[in-house]
Amino acid sequence: MYVFGIEELFWAVLVFVAIHYWRLNRNTPMTKWPVLGMLPGLLHNVSNIHGYVDLTLKQNGGTFIFEGPWLTNMNILCTSDPMNVQHITSTKFENYGKGNDFREIFEVLGEGIFRSDSHIWKYNRKLLHSIFKQGNFQVFIQKTVEKKICNYLLVFLDHASKNGVQVDLQDIFQRLTFDNICSVVLGFDPKCLSIDLPEIPCERAFTQAEDTLFIRHVKPKLLWKLQNWFQVGEEKQFIKNNKFIDEMLYSEIKSKREMRGEQKVDLLDIIINEVGDGENKIDDKFLRDTSINLLAAGRDTISSGLTWFFWLVATHPLIEAKILEEIKENLPSREHSWKDLGAKGLSKLVYLHGALCEALRLYPPIPFEHKSAQKSDVLPSGHRVESNTMIVYSLYSVGRVEEIWGEDCLEFKPERWISQKGGIVYVPSYKFIAFNAGPRSCLGKDISFIEMKMVAIAILLNYHIQVVEDHPIIPSLSVVLHMKHGLKVNLKKRSI
């Protein structure tokens, strides 16, 4: 007679427990397993992570606690409750910083504005705010964007249109915005966007680094730290990319030090010549950290927002027609181009502004944010937060809360942003949170809207965009809400 051994009995019990837990929790998005916690469910649904988290939040009243495997310290409080978001970002702002987990994952950002806390963050924000509000710096940004659109973007799209070439708009926007932000921050144009679409190593390094940063969120800290230590897996490439980016940045900083005193208006020159008083007050590490933070923000957030906006507009022809009508009504005359709108003309495009807000509401470029409680606290939802607890609020889910946006919250409706008097409807930042909320609200919000409007107007006036049939539109697994397969489109020249 066959006698079961210890190993067979162990696996039989394990399978029985697994089936038992599955039957008890098969209708629950976040099943808690013995030893492994809720990690298996998260990994199983990682390809649709934002939708999965959104569904779980809705089924738990807007807030739930993710419990990771034993001994991994992966317990996370997740929320999309707007009152919790306001509490964390504004009411009790001083109690909620980035925390150690965020700082370890995003170590590449150094002590820049997005990774720092306390007095370092305050100094960074005050410095950048003083530069952003300078009139000559704002004019410099608009002229830089305008030049890039005219001399590169429209030239490339015209070439693609004439030759019947399919275009990946996401790739084009990433190239465009990387060129723009390098020009604005560093004062040089890497020329990623040109007819032959060259592969630029520094631009590719940023993309690959983002992928690794996302993986660090779903992989136990001990594991990715070991990979980093032994330089294996994606962490090996991450180290190489960081080294390459640092070499590029320090080379530019050195060049600017040597040319100190020349009258330029890019951000690094302003810091070195007007703020830093040379090498005495601002060191190279500070300039490097400031640069990499702004390069990441200026490239990815705007390119993501534009990509989702053009997909939504291309699949909603009535909305596209209304945007075009509004643009043409505000042009000085039919003979004038989109460049003649100017800042005042851009501010009059209410429907376009509403359409951009809708795209950012549904598909925020940064889909989730980290916080960590310094002291124990109780959220408005009633959930108790212990000190050092990691908190994640889902910007993606906040944009889909029915209590804020109504039963039609999944629809693309620019009209929801327009008042009866024809102005823009004000929505508090803790509800429309694409640009974050509270003291950490995005300093470049107004600049971002100007750049997105300029690009949108230039393209829509000149081309009709049609998404390639059956092209899959799926969010990528990244810390930035890109499209996994890009946005493949065909272009048809308009007759204006």
Average pLDDT over residues 221-226: 91
Least confident of 43-47, 307-311, 315-319, 364-368: 43-47
pLDDT bracket for residue 46 (50, 70, 90): confident
In this predicted model, what pLDDT tens digit does every residue of 177-223 receive, in sequence order? 999 999 999 999 999 999 999 998 888 888 888 889 988 887 888 89
Average pLDDT over residues 129-142: 91
pLDDT bracket for residue 487 (50, 70, 90): very high
pLDDT bracket for residue 478 (50, 70, 90): confident
pLDDT of residue 38: 67
- Rounded to the nearest integer, the mean pLDDT of the chain is 88
Phi and psi at 200, nearest 5°, equal: -105, 115
pLDDT of residue 179: 96
Instruction: Tell me the binding residues for heme.
Output: 442
Q: Judge whether residue 13 has pLDDT over 70.
A: no
pLDDT of residue 341: 80
pLDDT of residue 334: 62
Q: For the range 144-149, what are the long-range contacts, defined as Cβ-Cβ under 8 Å and sequence gap of 24 or more? A: 144/180, 144/183, 144/184, 145/180, 145/450, 145/451, 145/454, 145/455, 146/339, 146/454, 148/176, 148/179, 148/180, 148/183, 148/189, 148/193, 149/176, 149/454, 149/455, 149/458
CA distances from 393 to 84, 142, 430 (A): 9, 33, 11
Q: Judge whether residue 16 has pLDDT over 50.
A: no
pLDDT of residue 70: 64
pLDDT of residue 159: 96
Q: Judge whether residue 76 has pLDDT over 90.
A: no
Q: Judge whether residue 72 has pLDDT over 80.
A: no
Q: How far apart are CA 350 and CA 327, in angstroms?
A: 10
The answer to whether 368 touches 394, Cβ cutoff 8 Å, is yes
Amino acid identity of 434? A
Highest mean pLDDT among 232-236, 351-355, 390-394: 351-355
pLDDT bracket for residue 277 (50, 70, 90): low
3-state secondary structure of 96: strand
Q: Judge whether residue 281 has pLDDT over 60.
A: yes
Question: pTM, whole model, 2 decimals?
Answer: 0.90
Higher pLDDT: 458 or 29? It is 458
Q: Where are the alpha helices (DSSP H) in 60-168?
A: 82-86, 99-105, 118-132, 135-148, 154-163
Q: For the range 134-141, what are the long-range contacts, defined as Cβ-Cβ under 8 Å and sequence gap of 24 or more? A: 134/270, 136/265, 137/265, 137/267, 137/270, 138/447, 140/184, 140/265, 140/266, 141/184, 141/447, 141/450, 141/451
Q: How far apart are CA 6 and CA 109, in angstroms?
A: 51
In this predicted model, what pLDDT tens digit does every residue of 144-181 receive, in sequence order? 999 999 999 999 999 999 999 999 999 999 999 999 99
pLDDT bracket for residue 10 (50, 70, 90): very low
Query: Where do we find the tokens 């690959």?
Result: 208
Tokens for 217, please give them.
């969120």
Q: How far apart are CA 315 and CA 467, in angstroms?
A: 8
Instruction: Say how far residue 29 (Cα) sits from the centre of its chain.
Output: 26
Tokens for 371, please give them.
């916080």
Q: Judge whether residue 338 has pLDDT over 90.
A: no
Percentage of the chain exceeding pLDDT 90: 68
Tokens for 455, please give them.
């690009």
The answer to whether 378 touches 385, Cβ cutoff 8 Å, is yes
Tokens for 393, please give them.
């609020």
Average pLDDT over residues 467-481: 93
* β-bridge pairing 488-493 and 167-168: antiparallel
Instruction: Tell me the binding residues.
Output: 442
Instruction: Say how far residue 456 (Cα) sits from the centre of its chain.
Output: 19
3-state secondary structure of 168: strand
CA dihedral 450, 451, 453, 454 (to 10 degrees): 110
Query: Where do we find the tokens 């809400």?
Result: 481
Instruction: Say how far residue 89 (Cα) sits from the centre of its chain.
Output: 18
pLDDT of residue 313: 98
pLDDT bracket for residue 489 (50, 70, 90): very high
pLDDT of residue 206: 87
Tokens for 406, please give them.
């109504």
Q: How far apart are CA 409 and CA 80, in angstroms?
A: 14
Q: How far apart are CA 101 and CA 388, in angstroms?
A: 9
Q: Judge whether residue 19 has pLDDT over 60.
A: no
pLDDT of residue 335: 57
pLDDT bracket for residue 342 (50, 70, 90): confident
Residues 6+ apart with CB under 8 A from 28: 59
Q: Judge whether residue 25 has pLDDT over 70.
A: no
Outline where DSSP puts E strands in 218-359: none
Query: Where do we find the tokens 């429209």?
Result: 154
Percentage of the chain exceeding pLDDT 70: 88
Outline where DSSP puts E strands in 173-321: none
In this predicted model, what pLDDT tens digit does every residue of 286-323 receive, in sequence order? 999 999 999 988 888 999 999 999 999 999 999 999 99
Query: Where do we find the tokens 């190239």?
Result: 175
Q: Judge whether residue 365 has pLDDT over 70.
A: yes
pLDDT of residue 15: 46
Phi and psi at 87, nearest 5°, equal: -60, -45
Amino acid identity of 173? F
pLDDT of residue 5: 54
Query: Where do we find the tokens 């032994």?
Result: 230
Average pLDDT over residues 116-137: 92
3-state secondary structure of 78: strand
Domains and CATH numbers, the chain: 75-493 (1.10.630.10)
Give the helix/strand (H/E) hosting 20: helix 6-25
Average pLDDT over residues 88-109: 93
Q: How far apart are CA 149 and CA 193, in angstroms?
A: 10
Tokens for 304, please give them.
């993501």
pLDDT of residue 44: 78
Q: How far apart are CA 263 and CA 256, in angstroms?
A: 11
pLDDT bracket for residue 92 (50, 70, 90): very high
pLDDT bracket for residue 274 (50, 70, 90): confident
The answer to whether 187 touches 268, Cβ cutoff 8 Å, is yes
Average pLDDT over residues 449-458: 96
